[in-house]
Structures are given as structure tokens and as C-alpha cells.
Amino acid sequence: MNRRKKINQLLKANAKKASAKLAPKTKDKYISKADRLKLEVESSQDTN
């Protein structure tokens, strides 16, 4: 791999990472099973 190609590859990779950071997050935050159960119990207590 020549020097120019290697540098371009690094620059493209860095640009891709930067744009990925700026992109909106589409995935919801992970909530563990135990936390889901706690939330469910709290919500059921609030309704009662």
C-alpha cells in the first residue's frame, strides 16, 4: 500500500467516526431485566 493511499484511508476513517458521533442516536438505551421489573413494580404501586 503506498503512502498516499494509507493516509487517505486514515483520513476517511477519522471522518467516518466524526460523522457517526454527530449523527442522532437511533437506538434506545439498554434497560436490564431487573431494572424493567423495578419500573413495572413502581408503576403498579403508583396506580394502586
SS3 sequence, the chain? Answer: CCHHHHHHHHHHHHHHHHHHHHCCCCCCCCCCHHHHHHHHHHHHHHHC
**How much is the mean pLDDT over the chain?**
91
Domain coverage including residue 12: 3-47
Place of cell 493516509: 7
What does residue 28 show for φ and ψ, rounded to 5 degrees? Answer: -75, 155
pTM of the model: 0.48
Q: What angle do CA 41, 28, 34 make, to 5 degrees?
A: 30
Average pLDDT over residues 36-42: 92
Question: Which pLDDT tens digit goes with each residue over 5-27?
Answer: 999 999 999 999 999 999 888 88
| Number of domains the chain is built from | 1
| The pLDDT of residue 14 | 97
